[in-house]
Amino acid sequence: MILHERRKRPEPWQTQRAAVRYSWLVPLLAVEWVFEWVAFVLSRWSFLEVLEYLGSFSILIAVIFYFSESGDRLKQKHYQAWQVINTAQGKGGSGGRIEALQELDGDGVPLVGVDVSGAFLQGIRLPRARLIRADLNAVDARNSDFQAADLMGANLHSGNFRESNLSGANLQDADLGEADLCSANLNGAVLDGATLDGADLGNTDLGKVKWQKITSLRGANIRQVRNPPEGFIQWATQQGAVTTKSESDCP
């Protein structure tokens, strides 16, 4: 709030000059006296008061515009993130895709059908992300977090998900063929209709995994799986799963 206080009229120069004890202070006092008169005159000028109110009003308008345009800024941020992802499509390396994907997911943007095949996404954090029908073919996503993510119908073929967290993930109808799931956490994951032919499940946590409707796991390596559900090992072996040590064995 702006408070204008009218200044007191300065005393005459003779009065102030008479009060000075040292002559060398006279020039300084003269300057001060002139400024006192300037301040006195301006304090009675309503135009300056109006300008101050307009300055405060302009700040208010700027704040209103800032919040009113927040939606446009968010859209621009998302557009730039998608541009990073699409520009790097089909290329190796990260290309800024880890940050872009995490940013979009953090803002609640669905990543349905996103194509990051062959990308280096090691350590990415996408818990509860909506990755339905996403293409993660041959990605390097070691030590990543996909906890409770929706990967229904996603292509994870030949992907490297070693030591990744896929607990509670929806992998219904997903293609996990030839995927490296060594030491991954699939606790509580849904594998209904999933294909795991040739996948490496060594040392993978399969506790409470929904496996009864797995489409196929022929040639999948199930050596030393942890917390296998009752009947899983026998059924998987009958379906063509193996328990051999691979060249790059799981930790």
Same domain, 123 and 38: no
Same domain, 99 and 147: yes
Same domain, 29 and 82: no
Whether residue 5 is contained in a domain is answered as no
Whether residue 6 is contained in a domain is answered as no
Same domain, 45 and 80: no
Q: Distance (Å, rounded) from C-alpha 66 to C-alpha 64? A: 5
Whether residue 36 is contained in a domain is answered as yes
Whether residue 7 is contained in a domain is answered as no
Q: What is the pLDDT of residues 141-186, one digit of tens each?
A: 999 999 999 999 999 999 999 999 999 999 999 999 999 999 999 9
What is the domain-level CATH number for residue 112? 2.160.20.80
Same domain, 133 and 201: yes
User: How high does pLDDT run on average in the chain?
Assistant: 86
pLDDT beyond 60 at 4: no
Whether residue 60 is contained in a domain is answered as yes
- Count of C-beta atoms within a 10 Å radius of residue 50: 10
Residue carrying structure tokens 């293409």: 135
CA distances, 178 to each of 30, 98, 112, 217, 221 (Å): 91, 23, 23, 10, 10
Same domain, 89 and 43: no
Whether residue 110 is contained in a domain is answered as yes
How high is the pLDDT of residue 24?
72
DSSP the chain: -----PPPPPPPHHHHHHT-SSGGGHHHHHHHHHHHHHHHHHHT-HHHHHHHHHHHHHHHHHHHHHHHTHHHHHHHHHHHHHHHHHHTTT-SS-TTHHHHHHHHHHTT---TT-B-TT-B-TT-B-TT-B-TT-B-TT-B-TT-B-TT-B-TT-B-TT-B-TT-B-TT-B-TT-B-TT-B-TT-B-TT-B-TT-B-TT-B-TT-B-TT-B-TT--B-TT-B-TT-BSPPTTHHHHHHHTT-B-PPPSS---
Same domain, 135 and 175: yes
Domain membership of residue 103 as a residue range: 71-244
Confidence of residue 54 (pLDDT cuts 50, 70, 90): low
How high is the pLDDT of residue 51?
60
Same domain, 98 and 198: yes
The total of structural domains in the chain comes to 2
Same domain, 118 and 195: yes
Q: What is the pLDDT of residues 69-86, one digit of tens each?
A: 555 678 888 989 999 999
Whether residue 216 is contained in a domain is answered as yes
Same domain, 62 and 78: no
Q: Of the residues 51, 68, 85, which one is the last residue of a structural domain?
A: 68
Confidence of residue 101 (pLDDT cuts 50, 70, 90): very high
Residue carrying structure tokens 């609640």: 108
Q: Of the residues 27, 49, 68, which one is the last residue of a structural domain?
A: 68
Same domain, 25 and 140: no
Whether residue 251 is contained in a domain is answered as no
CA distances, 89 to each of 13, 76, 80, 119, 191 (Å): 81, 20, 14, 8, 28
Q: What is the pLDDT of residues 187-246, one digit of tens each?
A: 999 999 999 999 999 999 999 999 999 999 999 999 999 999 999 999 999 999 999 876
Q: Of the residues 41, 68, 95, which one is the last residue of a structural domain?
A: 68
Same domain, 136 and 206: yes
